[in-house]
Structure 1
Amino acid sequence: MSIHKVIIDTDPGMDDAAAILMALASPELEVLGLTIIAGNVSLNDTVRNACKLVALSGRRDISVHAGAAGPLVREQVFGKYAKIGSFSDELVRAGDVVPSREDAVHFIVRSARAASDAGEKITLCAIGPMTNIALALVQHPDVVRGIGQIVSMGGAFTALGHRTPWAEFNVYADPHAAEIVFQSGVPLVIMPLDMTFQALVTAEHFEQFRSGGAAGVALCNLFSTFDRSDVHRFGRPGGPIHDATTIAWLIRPDLFTGVKAFVGVQITGLTMGYTYADFYKKMGRAANATVMTDVDDAGFINLLIERIALYGHADLDTKTLGGPKS
């Protein structure tokens, strides 16, 4: 079995919670740590949420690193569900995990350099605004040698936007950071709204999360807090869990179909945050990304439910979930 060494750069967030818990239960992934960014909510809240999720998973080998509190250039914006803020103890029980003293950018840089020195490469899984990753790439350009790929949930092409009519939130929240990452030369795999809108999770699916012990119950609680359905837009009941598609692709890439394209970001003007993909080579520029266009929705949802269920019938330690094996 191929093992991906992964840093999850995240702004938890309900969708992020599903992605994090899925990743920490998956033996195909060696999660090196979580690097945290402001996005869905403020940095203080995203850090607290990340620490709660790590405690809930039982994976005390996972470090949490606070990163940038805001975007590189633009004014700060928060996510659609920002009012949920820090996960309440009623939704996600309190834990005793605390963040590392090492900040997110230094952790990314140190991990990438260590991988390069060992002749290896790590995967950065970007499921929030890309400020931390952009700072690492700009301040320490040598780190690209240790980064094999960046798998990102972000952007929208034919689907247009959800935070604005033209933009997906993760890119909209820091388009300048996204443009730095997209033009970094690191291979990109992009999960845009065009694809994530295809896999809709319903209230019945949320209830199945409850089989995953305390972690599954917390996830069900979070997703039951808001109605994520948009039948007018999606054509059927249910809502996407965008960020978890990045983890699913790392585990089961056969569930996805993608095409190579040059991808860029509009960083000024009214449509700031708009992402474009040159699927038909009109610009004459080499592809910098593989853009996922289709997903086996049933396969993805079943995989997510299966991995969350592991928390319900395993002792929560690194030997029974996705941690290092002795």
Structure 2
Amino acid sequence: MTESIIIDCDPGVDDAAALLLAFPSTELEILGITAVAGNIPLEKTEANARFVCELAGRSDIRVLQGCGRPLLYPQRAGVTVHGEDGLGDIGLQRSSSPPAERAAIDFIINQVRAAPGEVTIAVLGPMTNIAVALAIDPGIAPLIKRIVFMGGAAFCKGNVTERAEFNFYFDPHAAQAVVASGIPMVMFGLDVTHKAIITPERTERLKRLGRIGAVAADMLTSYGAGDPCLHDPCVIAYLIEPEIFSGVEGFVEVDVQSDLAMGQSIVSVSQRELAGRTPNCLVMTDVDHDRLFALLEERYARFLAQAA
């Protein structure tokens, strides 16, 4: 059965790799891509989303601009591992297509209301767009099928501070608003994504898969020099082949009180920790990394087959 998804992202090299995994996957119907500020500023994330669509021959997929800053912070710094252009600074030639329209929030609301219980939101960046959509129209919360997101660090250290993972740290208030919404959720935090390691052997295999594979390999090689973990594609891989991953049910909260722990994900799994609360999230903790990279290769190879 095909799953209807909105991909909310901040491309970013690993976001781009995730989009390229989603595009040829017939298990997924991509309703649209909503861009948000995060890894890099919004004007670059939306441009990169449009570029990746063009690169893959998927300009039929709508790209829309969302929020350009966190809910309560005027700005937050991005991360340097993605390069100045956000796609690894590997010399990609961009088109001169016009910027996407600033309609991401309305798009999310309208798509969910048009198909109650059928739309999954795959969140690859900070949760600002989703939190704003829920604030404008709280009634969409019970209509969203589920949210599958990359963010947080359940049982391990953070990657931007000692306690916080980048997406949660960038907009902790948005993350807390979304995880507290009652929407069914699946979390891909650093616990699992740190087990999906980009290696020279794996990028070398991607290079054999035509232009898409070569571009992806070059981006991941540049990015992997600073962060060797394949974060965002885990979300898309789960939607295609959930058996690759395993995890535990837990109750997820995000610290928005303490300066020292701002953005920390607090995950309760034992009966004592839950204290009568019902788990609100499936928290992924492990991955069959060989199957994950095999899936990446198999789907990137489909671009080569289409071009033949």
Q: TM-score normalised to the size of structure 1?
A: 0.88
User: Is the 1:56–1:214 Cα contact (8 Å) retained in structure 2?
Assistant: no
Bigger Cα displacement from structure 2, 286-295 vs 100-109: 100-109
- Structure 1 match to 2:274: 283
Partner Cα distance (1:162, 1:100) in 2? 31
| Alpha-carbon offset, residue 15 of structure 1 | 0.6
2:261 equivalent among 271, 274, 283: 271
How do residues 1-326 of structure 1 correspond to structure 2 at under 5 angstroms? Answer: 2-74=1-73, 75-81=75-81, 83-87=83-87, 90-95=90-95, 97-116=97-116, 120-228=117-225, 239-268=228-257, 269-281=259-271, 282-284=273-275, 285-315=277-307
Bigger Cα displacement from structure 2, 67-76 vs 99-108: 99-108
Secondary structure class of the residue paired with 1:314: helix
Cα 1:82–1:204, aligned 2, differ >3 Å: closer, same or farther?
Answer: closer
Q: Deviations over 1:65-85 (max 9, x none)?
A: 001000001341212425423
- Structure 2 match to 1:234: none
Secondary structure class of the residue paired with 2:274: coil
Partner Cα distance (2:15, 2:285) in 1? 21
Q: Deviations over 1:271-302 (max 9, x none)?
A: 10100100113132111100011111111111
Q: Deviations over 1:208-254 (max 9, x none)?
A: 22233222222112122244377xxxxxxxx2110000001001111
Q: TM-score normalised to the size of structure 2?
A: 0.93
Partner Cα distance (2:158, 2:246) in 1? 21
| Alpha-carbon offset, residue 93 of structure 1 | 3.4
Cα 1:187–1:226, aligned 2, differ >3 Å: closer, same or farther?
Answer: closer
- Structure 2 match to 1:236: none
User: Is the 2:251–2:268 Cα contact (8 Å) retained in structure 1?
Assistant: yes
Partner Cα distance (2:236, 2:40) in 1? 22
Q: Report the RMSD for the aligned CA atoms in angstroms.
A: 1.9
| Alpha-carbon offset, residue 305 of structure 1 | 1.5
The count of corresponding residues between Structure 1 and Structure 2 is 304
Bigger Cα displacement from structure 2, 221-230 vs 71-80: 221-230
Gaps of 5+ in 2: none
Aligned residues: percent identity? Answer: 39
Q: Which amino acid in structure 2 is aligned with residue 109 of structure 1? A: I
Q: Deviations over 1:172-222 (max 9, x none)?
A: 000000000000010000001011111212012112222332222221121
Partner Cα distance (1:38, 1:97) in 2? 20
| Alpha-carbon offset, residue 55 of structure 1 | 0.2
| Alpha-carbon offset, residue 86 of structure 1 | 4.7
